[in-house]
Structure 1
Amino acid sequence: MIKEIEDTSRAKQQPAWLQGYIDSSEKQKQLYKKTLKIVILSQIFGGAGLAAGITVGALLAQDMLGTESAAGIPVALLTLGSAGAALVVGRLSQRFGRGTGLAAGFLAGGLGAIGVIVAALLNSIMLLFASLLIYGAGTAANLQARYAGTDLATPKQRATAVSMAMVSTTFGAVAGPNLVGVMGEFAGSIGIPALAGPFILAAAAFILAGLVLLLFLRPDPLVISTAIANAQEKDGTVQEEPNSESAAVNKRGIVVGAAVMVLTQFVMTAIMTMTPVHMGHHGHGLSEVGLVIGFHIGAMYLPSPLTGLLVDKVGRTAMAVASGATLLASGILAAFAPADSIALLICALILLGVGWNFGLISGTALIIDAAHPSVRAKTQGSVDVLLALSGASGGVLSGVVAAHYSYAALSLSGAILSLLLIPVVVWSRKTQSKDPV
């Protein structure tokens, strides 16, 4: 198993406080529970910051640029920014701990949200685009926070730990879109364009999330987890043969987990991005858009406890297949639902969120299973780069497809793409069956 030199050297001579965690399973359990509580609190704020910007980003760009074909650019930019930030957050987390890496991402996201507000005031397209890139760092931190709760979890707790981090995002994620109207009115009262109002909420929420992690995520769970793994291997408690076969299995787990997350992210982002624009074309106001997106984002996170339990009990690959089937149903319903039917749009977007939830949690569990703690944060950051780039591609292409064809064509395309999850899982199972027992 590959380990960083600095991690190996630390294992030889640990500080007394760190050795205390290595020697005591009770202290490990206590820190695991404490870490989950802190992650939950930070995710409540992070969810609000993430959702508020996503809800009106496309509408703000459409208003400033005066063209629908560019409406997907904001989501593309913030997810592109998320890609770069995911790599940085992963590296910082591996070197300095989860708290430092995640806090840096959230604080940068808060600064990006402030930049969006200034861009709207100045009507500056270039500043808007640059700020959205920086705002994407908050998105990266919000996603990578799901890993923090798993560092001290047992293999049978990992998906459940991911789900606890994700479901806590629901509180802020659902509140954010439904505060669009209120924040728009507040922004107007102080001379800021109404569509920039939600970014005021996003800035405050991201900054608070970063401060919570920076100040309270101590001792750092990744540092403890790495020290425990190294100590167990040194003492022979864990037997791991660094042969080519085991390396292939680990690589396969990472490839499959990444493929599941990338496909679900692409489909979800593409359909979600153009739904507000589609609704705007048919006379729906900001409050109705906020309602639909609120249900969607709630569906992205609220089922997490049940999903985590199913992933741990039923299996990672089975839930990946369930993700593909759910996204397929969502795309078909979104394509054929009457544009004036809020109820059917809500149902389609709920299915979209649930399908994404299934894919993200099952894919995340596969990644965690495959990566050693000494390289886990870097690996997770690298995978999240692909996740963000997938979202960026979905955001850009969604606007082009919807503008040149239709929202229905976009939704059906997403439904067809979701079926690719099935051959990925079949390939995974076939290759696993060839491994020696």
Structure 2
Amino acid sequence: MSAPALTAAQQSAVQRRTVLVLSLGQVLGGIAFGATVSLGALLAADISGDDALSGLATASVTLGAALCAIPLARLAARVGRRRALTLGNLFALVGIAVVILAASLRVFPLLLAGILMIGAGNAGNLQSRFAATDLAVPAHRGRDLSIVVWATTIGGVAGPLLLGPGEIVGAAIGMPPQTGSYVFSFVAQSAALVLYLVALRPDPLLAAQRIATVAAAASSVQAVDRPVVARYAMFAIAGSHVVMASVMAMTPIHLSHMAHSMHAGHDTAAAAADVSQLVGITIALHVAGMYALSPVFGILADRWGRLQVVLFGQVLLGGSLIFAIFANDRAWGVMAALILLGLGWSAATVAGAALLTESSAPELRTRRQGRSDSLMSLSAAAGAVLAGVILSNFQYAGLGIAASVLVLIIVALSPLGRRARS
């Protein structure tokens, strides 16, 4: 016999608990993803011996998320968010172990397989933001979603900043170079798995499904579904993610070239130290931009409207690309580009996720959320591969020009985000 639907007071209390648990899980899960973002391209370039292949690291992490997004969403629809999220944690734990093994053996395909598994785990992290909307009232949907996104700031910023301490720990216990911070990632992912198993009760999606069933039985009014708006939301989320992922993935390689150019090849040890420090600080600032102001964008999405904040995100992304095109030979210019890149991504994806959720009828939401995450990750995987080729042939400025085309397309198609149900 199924559990009864929640009262309004119970729903509010469960929602507050759910947002807290999901936020703590995002703090822990963000550590592994932050480390992979920082180290993936560098490990890929080092082990493969070819900078052009460095984009395959980001492609693998996004491909892993794409392959698991729809299956995890379907699993959540059947058995709830809790089991789907914990399965994602298990994928990430296996992936971390495989990456460390690949770095030890210096086997490039094995490295990509491990990063792909970490990406599969990140599909669970992405699903957490939708889990925050399962029991949210419409007036606070953007805010609740953005709080969970914001929580990733702590883990996402800590991941890159743990590169230095991680190398000390890794050297002490005999780990391969550039993998020490994965020790912290493994511990954090294990803690997140336990947290979801123990504390994510009652399951928010199952509770929301019971509430929707009771409401449908008591009312003859059918929930409104706006498929054109939902499709535009998916495109805006995916396009913004491609812009962010492609530029971000190539930034460590670009900064590495800058550092070695400064030392003119005479002091390789100093250049390597500069690379680690510059990459760590820049990616940390970028990740802070991705998540730190997400509650602000969530509140703005509730007050201004979802589409308006999606377009504001495109303005921020455009500003980022201007720095990438015209100030890419200066460290401060690259940092400014990465900060704005993160802010634009945050505004577009927080508001886009809220737009997708509210434009979909309850029975279609979980399915479309999974499709959105899969499309987002697949597009970013292709973008990361192309970004490596563009960087090799047209430099960082050329990458910025190519990414700006996608921003313009998202803006041009924005009238679709206002269409009502036909």
TM-score relative to the length of structure 1 = 0.90
The answer as to whether partners of 2:328 and 2:397 remain within 8 angstroms in 1 is no
Instruction: Report what 1:404 is aligned to.
Output: 393
The answer as to whether partners of 2:33 and 2:118 remain within 8 angstroms in 1 is no
Deviations 1:317-348 (A, max 9, x none): 11111111111110110121152x33222211
Question: Greater CA deviation, 122-131 or 385-394?
Answer: 122-131
| SS class of match (2:242) | helix
One-letter amino acid of the counterpart of residue 53, structure 1 = T
Written as runs of structure 1 = structure 2, the 5 A alignment for 1:102-117 is 102-117=85-100
| Distance in 2 separating the partners of 1:258 and 1:414 | 18
One-letter amino acid of the counterpart of residue 221, structure 2 = Q
One-letter amino acid of the counterpart of residue 100, structure 1 = R
Instruction: Report what 1:72 is aligned to.
Output: 55
Instruction: Report what 1:263 is aligned to.
Output: 239
| Distance in 2 separating the partners of 1:399 and 1:303 | 29
Question: Greater CA deviation, 107-116 or 420-429?
Answer: 420-429
Aligned with residue 372 of structure 2, among 369, 379, 383 = 383
- The answer for unaligned runs of 5 or more in structure 1 is 1-13
| SS class of match (2:178) | helix
| Distance in 1 separating the partners of 2:337 and 2:381 | 22
The answer as to whether partners of 1:53 and 1:198 remain within 8 angstroms in 2 is no
Instruction: Report what 1:11 is aligned to.
Output: none
| Distance in 2 separating the partners of 1:88 and 1:47 | 21
Cα deviation for residue 372 of structure 1 reads 3.4
Instruction: Report what 1:287 is aligned to.
Output: 277
The answer as to whether partners of 1:75 and 1:273 remain within 8 angstroms in 2 is yes
| Distance in 2 separating the partners of 1:318 and 1:186 | 46
Instruction: Report what 1:6 is aligned to.
Output: none
Which aligned segments of 4 or more residues in structure 1 are displaced greater than 6 angstroms?
Answer: none
One-letter amino acid of the counterpart of residue 408, structure 1 = A
Instruction: Report what 1:121 is aligned to.
Output: 104
Aligned with residue 163 of structure 1, among 141, 146, 152 = 146
| Distance in 1 separating the partners of 2:415 and 2:359 | 18
Cα deviation for residue 193 of structure 1 reads 2.1
Cα deviation for residue 191 of structure 1 reads 2.1
Question: Greater CA deviation, 280-289 or 58-67?
Answer: 280-289
| SS class of match (1:196) | coil
Q: Percent identity?
A: 34
| SS class of match (2:413) | helix
Cα deviation for residue 221 of structure 1 reads 0.7
Aligned with residue 172 of structure 1, among 151, 155, 168 = 155
Instruction: Report what 2:292 is aligned to.
Output: 302
Deviations 1:280-324 (A, max 9, x none): 011142011100000000100001111000001101111111111
One-letter amino acid of the counterpart of residue 114, structure 2 = S
Deviations 1:213-256 (A, max 9, x none): 122101101011011011111011x6117xxxx55x2x112201
One-letter amino acid of the counterpart of residue 236, structure 2 = V
Written as runs of structure 1 = structure 2, the 5 A alignment for 1:162-311 is 162-236=145-219, 239-240=221-222, 246-247=224-225, 249=226, 251-283=227-259, 284-311=274-301
Written as runs of structure 1 = structure 2, the 5 A alignment for 1:20-99 is 21-22=5-6, 24-99=7-82
Instruction: Report what 2:269 is aligned to.
Output: none
| SS class of match (1:327) | helix
Instruction: Report what 1:5 is aligned to.
Output: none
Instruction: Report what 1:8 is aligned to.
Output: none
| Distance in 2 separating the partners of 1:253 and 1:147 | 17
| Distance in 2 separating the partners of 1:331 and 1:198 | 30
The answer as to whether partners of 1:52 and 1:201 remain within 8 angstroms in 2 is no
TM-score relative to the length of structure 2 = 0.93
| Distance in 2 separating the partners of 1:134 and 1:381 | 18
Instruction: Report what 1:9 is aligned to.
Output: none
- The answer for unaligned runs of 5 or more in structure 2 is 260-273
Instruction: Report what 1:359 is aligned to.
Output: 348
The answer as to whether partners of 2:228 and 2:416 remain within 8 angstroms in 1 is no
One-letter amino acid of the counterpart of residue 411, structure 2 = I
Cα deviation for residue 269 of structure 1 reads 0.4
Cα deviation for residue 428 of structure 1 reads 2.9
| SS class of match (1:174) | helix
| Distance in 1 separating the partners of 2:209 and 2:335 | 43
The answer as to whether partners of 1:328 and 1:416 remain within 8 angstroms in 2 is no
| Distance in 1 separating the partners of 2:315 and 2:30 | 26
| Distance in 2 separating the partners of 1:347 and 1:208 | 34
The answer as to whether partners of 1:99 and 1:213 remain within 8 angstroms in 2 is yes
Deviations 1:5-37 (A, max 9, x none): xxxxxxxxx63xx31x43x21111110111011
| SS class of match (2:179) | helix
Instruction: Report what 2:314 is aligned to.
Output: 324
TM-aligned CA distance change 1:47 to 1:326, over 3 Å: same
The answer as to whether partners of 1:320 and 1:421 remain within 8 angstroms in 2 is no
Cα deviation for residue 168 of structure 1 reads 0.7
| Distance in 1 separating the partners of 2:23 and 2:201 | 15
| Distance in 2 separating the partners of 1:124 and 1:116 | 10
The answer as to whether partners of 2:328 and 2:396 remain within 8 angstroms in 1 is no
The answer as to whether partners of 1:325 and 1:419 remain within 8 angstroms in 2 is no
Cα deviation for residue 154 of structure 1 reads 0.8
TM-aligned CA distance change 1:92 to 1:338, over 3 Å: closer
The answer as to whether partners of 1:183 and 1:194 remain within 8 angstroms in 2 is no
One-letter amino acid of the counterpart of residue 336, structure 1 = F
